[in-house]
Amino acid sequence: MVSNRGPVSFTLDDAGHPVPAGSAGGLAAALAPLLAGSGAVWVACAMSEADRAAAALGLVAEDGLELRTVQCDPQAYSMAYDVVSNSTLWFMHHHLFDLSRRPRFDEHWHRAWAAYEELNSHFAEAVSEVAAEGATVLVQDYHLYLVPGLLAEQRPDLRTVHFSHTPFADPGILRVLPGDVARQLLAGMSAGRSCGFHTDRWERAYRACCADAGVEPARTFVSALTPDPELLHRRAAEPACAAARRRLDDLLGERRLVLRVDRIEPSKNLLRGFWALDELFESRPDLRGEVVMVAHAYNSRQSLADYLAYGNEVEHAAARVNEIWGTGDWEPVVLDVADDTASSLAALTRYDVLLVNPLRDGLNLVAKEGPLVNDTDGVVALSREAGAYEELRQAVVALNPFDVSATAAALGFALDLDPAERSRRAEALRELVRRRKPGDWLSDLLAAAG
Ligand code: F6P
């Protein structure tokens, strides 16, 4: 397994010693249980000072997994991760470019591109060193597009698959990239045995990009990741989660809960969620004082100015709803930015409506986790731009994430559903999510390597 972020990350304690901090990347957290005990080798980057200190002490170990850390000069790493992977490729695939201002492909960006190429070479070298003859290599995501091409040259015996957890850009957006970069990325990812995507839509976009850029596409496959219901239930039963659920029940009393659980991330569309709530209270006086929106929104990619600015806007938008509609005994929005898995999971067990309204999303695991653990026949209001919509469309309340009024109407509609219809939808959602088993995704990748 090869990914930028590994299954364990570290922070430094007060004495400066590295201590495990879990992994903030939803991806690594979802994949680690699939590989635990398999004896697979996981190649990932030491992303922070704490990760590097832990690697130096030989602390990087995970149940039944051998971890191999790629070390990289911190400045070069930040150029590759912040400037190319997150500000360029992530924004490109999520159609987030604000084209009258950004991206800016200047000398600084080209230096960052050289750092991205170098980081990919470090990864390819590390894989070449640890992979046995004929091994299967599963490369994850946009940070590592060049790795399959480099491995094809260095180790033609390896069976490499590339999997994208993001959406894939439409060809017109890919054309924004400078010079030969689009061709280089597409050729790099396509040089292995196969490329995988969460939905047909992203697979088609990849093929359209290849056709547009004149690159021979790889064989492709579609395989959606799915959460492990048993694992989620075990975690939901743990004392921290049960205590968080009691606190939430106390906070809500008889009021109904609209919930969202996301990283603070522009593609997650938190702002329109708050604007829609404002419009809902404006148009539906009967819901004032009756509904609370809890937003578990945790920080990510804090080294990027766009994310910091977005986080400020999110706080401001939440506070504004409270200023306009709040009363002495009713706070309409509770914005919780502590990255606390137990509280988020507890809230998933209790929502009346789960709002998942990304602008564009590779899959969205929360939309699948919610229905599995929820015990209050909660309704899912889901963006039709999320990959998970393809699997869940029959049983969700669909929404256009760009349309604030339609999002407000979708929330109102979901809150109005009668108990029998809520129960029917909740049951149908559970059934749809359980159609795929957690191990299916890994089996599909291994089959694609054959
Ligand atoms: O949740 C999955 C994801 O969005 C992946 O597409 C990606 O690899 C990962 O998160 C990146 O997150 P981070 O920048 O926090 O490592």
Residue with tokens 């994430």: 401
Instruction: Mark 274-289 as b/e (b = at least 16 C-beta within 10 Å).
Output: bbbbbbbbeebeebee
Residue 118 tokens, joined: 């170098």
Cβ of residue 9 lying under 6 Å from some atom of ligand 1: no
- For ligand 1, atom 6, the nearest C-alpha belongs to 165
373-432 pLDDT tens trace = 999 999 999 999 999 999 999 999 999 999 999 999 999 999 999 999 999 999 999 999
Question: How many angstroms separate the CA atoms of 111 and 114, rounded?
Answer: 5
Question: How many angstroms separate the CA atoms of 128 and 115, rounded?
Answer: 20
Residue 295 tokens, joined: 């937003």
The pLDDT of residue 358: 99
Give the residues across from 194 on adjacent strands: 161, 219
- Interstrand relation of 9-12 and 18-22 (parallel, antiparallel or unpaired): antiparallel
Per the CB < 8 A criterion, the answer to whether 376 and 351 are in contact is yes
Confidence of residue 61 (pLDDT cuts 50, 70, 90): low
pLDDT beyond 90 at 173: yes
Confidence of residue 60 (pLDDT cuts 50, 70, 90): low
The pLDDT of residue 55: 82
For a mutational test of ligand 1's pocket, the pick from 1, 3, 5, 70, i.e. the residue with the most ligand atoms closer than 8 A to its C-beta, is 5
pLDDT beyond 90 at 248: yes
The pLDDT of residue 62: 66
The pLDDT of residue 22: 59
More confident position, 101 or 38: 101
Question: How many angstroms separate the CA atoms of 364 and 345, rounded?
Answer: 15
- Which one, of 109, 169, 176, lies nearest residue 145 by Cα? 169
Distance 168 CA to ligand 1 centre (A): 14
Cβ of residue 85 lying under 6 Å from some atom of ligand 1: no
Confidence of residue 25 (pLDDT cuts 50, 70, 90): low
For the CA of 90, the nearest atom of ligand 1: 6
Confidence of residue 28 (pLDDT cuts 50, 70, 90): confident
Cβ of residue 193 lying under 6 Å from some atom of ligand 1: no
Instruction: Please name the residues in contact with 385: beta carbons below 8 A apart, sequence gap of 6 or more.
Output: 358, 359, 360, 361, 401
Q: What is the mean pLDDT of residues 261-276?
A: 98
Give the residues across from 159 on adjacent strands: 136
Confidence of residue 26 (pLDDT cuts 50, 70, 90): low
Mean pLDDT, the chain, as a whole number?
95
Cβ of residue 5 lying under 6 Å from some atom of ligand 1: yes
296-338 pLDDT tens trace = 999 999 999 999 999 999 999 999 999 999 999 999 999 999 9
Strands (E), 129-189: 136-140, 159-163
142-162 pLDDT tens trace = 999 999 999 999 999 999 999
Tell me the angle at which helices 107-130 and 147-154 cross, rounded to the nearest 10 degrees: 50
Our measurement of the distance from residue 357's CA atom to the centroid of its chain's CA atoms, rounded to an integer in Å, reads 13
Quote the pTM value.
0.96
Per the CB < 8 A criterion, the answer to whether 366 and 354 are in contact is yes
pLDDT beyond 60 at 254: yes
